[in-house]
Amino acid sequence: MNPFNPRLLRLVREQRGCSQTVVADYLGVRQAAYSKYESGAVTPSQDAQKQLAALFGYIPSFFTQKIDTFPSGLIYHRKRSALSSKERAKIEAEARLRMIDIQKMAQQQKLHSNLPDLSNVSPKEAAAKLRAQWNIPRGPIANMVETLENNGIVVLAFDFGTDLLDGFFVRLDTSSICIVLNSNEAFSPDRNRFTLAHELGHVLLHRDVMPDKKTEREADEFASEFLLPTEDIAPELRQAALTFARLKELKKKWMVSIAAIVFKAHRTQCMTTFAYRRFWTFMSSSGYRKNEPPCDLERETPALLRRMVVAQSKLTPDLPKFFHLTRERYEERYRLT
Ligand SMILES: [Zn+2]
């Protein structure tokens, strides 16, 4: 059996968002003693390991998993000053723990993301090339989640419990990618789609590059071109006056925000700078800048992860054990995914 892995203990505690003191109290030890478990200075007794596993919804073998890398994407994500370090740690712990499951399944099921090397082309060119490689027909992308999943990219959606972070991506050992999406209600379906395209842009364009203002701009440019290819959208932007009613129509058709359409219109000279500025004044004064009219867009739901769990159940019948989860926790995690 592998030795106790203290990093996993810290992860499950952070995932729960509880302090060391709370867990120490539960075990009936002092916080100073408990902290030695997490630092690896002291290995908890078998009995304490059992208690800890039960507390967090795992079986004791969870703590003896040999995991060399804990894939994470949030680390590399642009720091949002408003996001507290505790919130950040909680989101990151949740994602990392889920990545352990996903990585195990991806390895056994030989999942590979279909991603060409586009690190040396412009964001605009990358969007066009990827659309071609993925055989995406011209016009709007009917379903962004499905498009990603069809190309071996896992979308993991959960509520981050905050609206200060839209999402991030994680590179798995298996050369596949997982995009972690915040399913918080504060975000509209079109915003989720843009986030997915934005993260996809980072995946393609920014291998081993630390995020800064430039990478953010490039990811946005990629997303804009991937969701709204200039060649396809420009004729529509020129076809009729860009009244608010017309913009709502375009939003419904292309499933992107009105703001993204107007940005594109200005970028492609389908809208004058004067009209662009006037538009933003209108958006601010009418409150649409914060909350655009929803235009009946449907929320897209991931399905690949669920399919992977089903496929895995055929390879390993005792899935809770495979994931080192209690049956209860397993049901909670995977029944609704
Ligand atoms: Zn970004």
**Domain ranges within the chain, ordered by starting residue:** 1-68, 105-285
| Alpha carbon distance 50, 46 (integer Å) | 6
Does residue 77 surpass a pLDDT of 90? no
The rounded Å distance from CA 21 to ligand 1 centre is 35
Q: Is the pTM of this model over 0.85?
A: yes
The rounded Å distance from CA 135 to ligand 1 centre is 25
Length of the chain: 337
The rounded Å distance from CA 164 to ligand 1 centre is 13
Q: What percent of the chain has pLDDT over 90?
A: 82
Give me the DSSP letters along 224-265: HHHHS-HHHHHHHHHHS---HHHHHHHHHHHTS-HHHHHHHH
- Compare 83 and 319 and report the one with higher pLDDT: 319
What are the structure tokens assigned to 181, written together? 């999406």
Per-residue pLDDT tens digits for 182-232: 999 999 999 999 999 999 999 999 887 777 889 999 999 999 999 999 999
Range 1-68: architecture per CATH: Orthogonal Bundle (1.10)
List C-alpha distances in Å: 131 to 124, 151, 160, 169, 237.
11, 11, 30, 20, 21
Q: Read off the pLDDT band of 313 (50, 70, 90).
A: very high
In sequence order, the β-bridge partners of residue 171 are 177
What are the structure tokens assigned to 43, written together? 């290995």
The rounded Å distance from CA 152 to ligand 1 centre is 21
Strand ranges across the sheet with 167-171: 153-158, 177-182, 167-171
The rounded Å distance from CA 157 to ligand 1 centre is 17
The rounded Å distance from CA 188 to ligand 1 centre is 18
